[in-house]
Amino acid sequence: MTLTTFALVRHGQTDWNAERRLQGSTDIPLNDVGRGQARDAVAILAPYEWDAIVSSPLSRAAETADLIAEGLGLTVSRRVPELTERSFGPAEGMQAGPELEALRIPGGFKGAESEDEAADRGLAALEALADDYRGQRVLVVTHGTLLRVSLSRAIGQALGSVDNAALNLAHHHAVDGWKLEYFNGEPVLAATGS
């Protein structure tokens, strides 16, 4: 059985994360806390041997991947546009409140990418990486909502929010589908999907 192993890591903190603003596809850079989280993630990821590191092209994910790669003595192989965060459209930059609620519709926000569309895109990108790196270990740095909806779809189980720079370890098999071993650094029981 050929397994492709993925570490799926959400980027480090940004100022908009700290302010609880929706970021989506807006390119907000890491802050100093986020850079520290990226460096701290190296210790969690170092026990594994990684064959490739890929990331979203948005700067917060790209810099997180670069800092992790540097700490592991590796380089980032690719920036994958399909790993960009879900677009929240006109809701990007907003905090919870009446203005944000006015944009809310079932499954998301007016003028935004739906949760289903983001899950389709994110899971397709991960499965393409599983094909490209079959049987290898791939470290992917991307975004919280994209990871949550893609992994939820992959394993057929709703997941909660993804923590910044935490270890999410998943395995992909072409026949048996996905198995999630760790979520937000904690072991997961019986989370599999096809």
Q: Which of 63, 85, 92, 113 is catalytic?
A: 85
Identify the pLDDT of residue 107. Answer: 83
Confidence (pLDDT) at 135: 96
Strand pairing report for 137-142 and 52-55: parallel
Report the binding-site residues: 10-17, 60
Residues tagged in the binding site annotation for substrate: 10-17, 60
State the 10-residue block means of pLDDT for the chain, 194 residues long: 92 98 97 98 96 98 98 98 97 97 93 96 98 97 98 96 96 94 89 51
CB hemisphere CA count around 133 (13 angstroms): 22
Q: What is the pLDDT, as a whole number, of residue 193?
A: 55
Calpha distance 178→185 (Å, rounded): 18
In this predicted structure, what is the pLDDT of residue 1?
A: 61
Asked if 78 contacts 51 with a C-beta cutoff of 8 angstroms, the reply is no
Q: What is residue 191's predicted lDDT score, i.e. its pLDDT?
A: 47
What is the per-residue pLDDT for 179?
96
What is the distance of C-alpha 78 from the center of its chain?
Answer: 15
User: pLDDT value at position 2?
Assistant: 87
Q: Is 85 a residue of the active site?
A: yes
Strands of the chain (E only): list them. 4-10, 52-55, 78-79, 104-105, 108-109, 137-142, 169-173, 177-183, 186-187, 192-193
Q: Is 186 in the active site?
A: no
